[in-house]
């Protein structure tokens, strides 16, 4: 009798992995953000353009790739906690490219309506392409564990109970670093509902808002071109138009001609409030001391032109000053753009009637726009900005004439970047100024607090969390 060799299962024929251009592109974008500290909003557009030209990407492919990148980055804190619960080694020992694939898979499973089997198989195919078959098996095993629960089920398992540690709970559930939860909560005050709404608002894609620059375009014109299905009037700014999802600002002639632009309503309100304060005496010389890239300068320039005032737009970085030039091109009134350091300014004391300083800051009020920003910022960045913020405000107060008005703005609600800076400058810097109540200069905007300064919020106003203090120089 012939000894038969044990029967071997026939080896599965090798199958090439399926290449899915949308997921490969999303992976490449995540790697660029991780490896090169790139910004998602700068990395994605050229990748999408190339994919449109070379791979025939349709708008819906671009929309899916964008959602996968932005959603994965925003929810990274939550997904990290869930992935950590599905593997038996510390997360930091997982190779970053593997973690990116796992996070992309977790987002498809827990944050989109993609059916679970499709999410797993598409992600495993991606892993085979970009990581190789060995690591794809690991990805497959982890993703199958993730499918055991939906998002709420996972949060119950991995988030510490609110009662034990409210900030740690909110950090995992709403995917923010704990120190940012703490800072935002300090700035907002109040109980659990408010901070939860704010953190969730950071996880939503902001709608695109346009400004019709006064004297150059009207909201009626923009609304008529866009049609009522594609746009709505702004909530607060009389010059704002809100685009429906998928609206393409670049398609509008008024935007291409610079008569209108993309600008958050909070930024519009800041410029409008500064222009709204009544002044005794002349009102002909306006300064924007931190103008780049030029959004507020373009609105101020248009408002100044309507009143026969001239705008000087100053910006330290020459390349950003060039962006300001572009934003102001075609402004109907007199203006000048210069590259200058606002802490050692070239202008003489008392040269201006109105001055805006929209100072560099941590950007904690615009987290919804930069999905990776919350993971890059460090607590020590906050005090790092303070000396520059103080110097810029002090010089702004010197630049304005006695009786003139200064607007100090940040796109961070962190108290150390807002009120503390203003209080400090008023106390120490030897320029006499008094607070102006900013609230009456944002007419019709609710929930502006006790004044005299104003803090806008994404969850209350639908704007970035812009801060504005208005000050009148008194001596």
Residues that bind ligand SAM (CB under 6 A): 267, 290-296, 315-317, 320, 341-343, 358, 360
Task: Give the Cα separation of 286 and 308 in Å (integer).
Answer: 11
320 or 419, CB closer to ligand SAM? Answer: 320
Closest distance of CB 295 from ligand SAM, Å? 4
CB 261 within 8 A of CB 294: no
SS3 of residue 402 by DSSP: strand
Closest distance of CB 277 from ligand SAM, Å? 18
Q: Is 358 annotated as a binding residue?
A: yes
Residue position matching structure tokens 């210069």: 338
Q: Is 290 annotated as a binding residue?
A: yes
Task: Give the Cα separation of 124 and 131 in Å (integer).
Answer: 10
122 or 425, CB closer to ligand SAM? Answer: 425
Active site residue 411: yes
Q: Is 315 annotated as a binding residue?
A: yes
285-288 and 231-233 beta bridge pairing: unpaired
Closest distance of CB 213 from ligand SAM, Å? 13
Could you tell me which of 312, 314, 313, 384 has the C-alpha nearest to residue 342? 314
400-410 and 467-473 beta bridge pairing: antiparallel
Catalytic residue among 411, 431, 433, 442: 411
115 or 318, CB closer to ligand SAM? Answer: 318
310-315 and 260-262 beta bridge pairing: unpaired
Could you tell me which of 22, 29, 40 has the C-alpha nearest to residue 375? 40
Query: Per-residue DSSP letters for 143-174?
Result: HHHHTTS-HHHHHHHHSPPTTT-HHHHHHHHT
Closest distance of CB 344 from ligand SAM, Å? 8
CB 394 within 8 A of CB 462: no
23 or 316, CB closer to ligand SAM? Answer: 316
203 or 412, CB closer to ligand SAM? Answer: 412
Closest distance of CB 311 from ligand SAM, Å? 12
Closest distance of CB 115 from ligand SAM, Å? 43
Q: Is 293 annotated as a binding residue?
A: yes
Q: Is 291 annotated as a binding residue?
A: yes
Q: Is 292 annotated as a binding residue?
A: yes
- How deeply is 173 buried, as exposed, middle or buried, from its count of CB atoms within 10 A (0-12, 13-18, 19+)? buried
Q: Is 295 annotated as a binding residue?
A: yes
CB 48 within 8 A of CB 57: yes
CB 472 within 8 A of CB 403: yes
List the binding residues.
290-296, 315, 341, 358
- Which residues are marked as active site? 411
Per the annotation, where are the binding residues for S-adenosyl-L-methionine?
290-296, 315, 341, 358
């Amino acid at each position: 009798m012939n000894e038969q060799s044990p029967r071997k299962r026939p080896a599965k024929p090798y199958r090439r992995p399926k290449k899915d251009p949308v997921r490969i592109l999303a992976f490449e974008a995540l790697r660029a953000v991780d490896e090169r500290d790139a910004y998602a909003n700068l990395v994605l557009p050229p990748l999408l353009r190339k994919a449109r030209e070379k791979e025939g990407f349709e708008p819906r492919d671009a929309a899916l790739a964008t959602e996968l990148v932005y959603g994965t980055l925003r929810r990274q804190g939550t997904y990290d906690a869930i992935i950590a619960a599905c593997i038996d080694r510390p997360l930091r020992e997982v190779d970053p490219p593997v973690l990116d694939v796992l996070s992309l898979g977790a987002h498809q499973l827990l944050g989109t309506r993609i059916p679970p089997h499709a999410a797993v198989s598409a992600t495993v195919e991606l892993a085979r392409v970009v990581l190789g078959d060995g690591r794809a098996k690991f990805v497959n095993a982890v993703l199958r564990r993730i499918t055991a629960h939906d998002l709420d089920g996972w949060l119950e398992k991995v988030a510490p109970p609110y009662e034990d540690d409210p900030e740690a709970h909110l950090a995992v559930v709403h995917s923010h670093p704990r120190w940012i939860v703490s800072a935002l909560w300090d700035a907002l005050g109040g109980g659990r509902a408010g901070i939860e709404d704010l953190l969730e608002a950071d996880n939503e894609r902001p709608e695109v808002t346009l400004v019709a620059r006064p004297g150059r375009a009207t909201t009626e014109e923009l609304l008529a071109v866009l049609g009522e299905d594609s746009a709505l009037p702004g909530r607060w700014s009389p010059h704002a138009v809100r685009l429906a999802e998928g609206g393409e600002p670049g398609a509008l002639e008024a935007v291409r001609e610079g008569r209108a632009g993309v600008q958050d309503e909070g930024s519009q309100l800041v410029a409008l409030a500064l222009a709204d304060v009544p002044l005794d005496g002349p009102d002909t010389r306006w300064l924007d001391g931190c103008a780049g890239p030029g959004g507020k300068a373009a609105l101020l320039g248009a408002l100044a032109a309507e009143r026969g005032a001239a705008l000087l737009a100053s910006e330290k970085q020459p390349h950003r000053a060039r962006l300001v030039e572009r934003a102001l091109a075609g402004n109907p009134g007199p203006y000048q753009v210069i590259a200058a350091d606002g802490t050692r300014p070239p202008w003489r004391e008392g040269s201006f009637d109105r001055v805006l300083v929209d100072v560099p800051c941590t950007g904690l009020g615009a987290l919804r726009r930069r999905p990776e920003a919350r993971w890059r910022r460090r607590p020590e960045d906050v005090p790092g900005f303070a000396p520059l913020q103080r110097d810029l405000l002090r010089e702004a107060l010197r630049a304005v004439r006695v009786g003139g008005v200064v607007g100090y703005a940040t796109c961070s609600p962190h108290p150390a970047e807002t009120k503390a800076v203003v209080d400090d400058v008023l106390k120490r810097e030897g320029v006499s100024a008094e607070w102006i109540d900013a609230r009456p200069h944002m007419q019709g905007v609710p929930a502006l607090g006790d004044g005299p300064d104003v803090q806008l919020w994404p969850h209350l106003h639908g704007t970035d969390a812009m801060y504005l203090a208005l000050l009148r120089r008194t001596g």
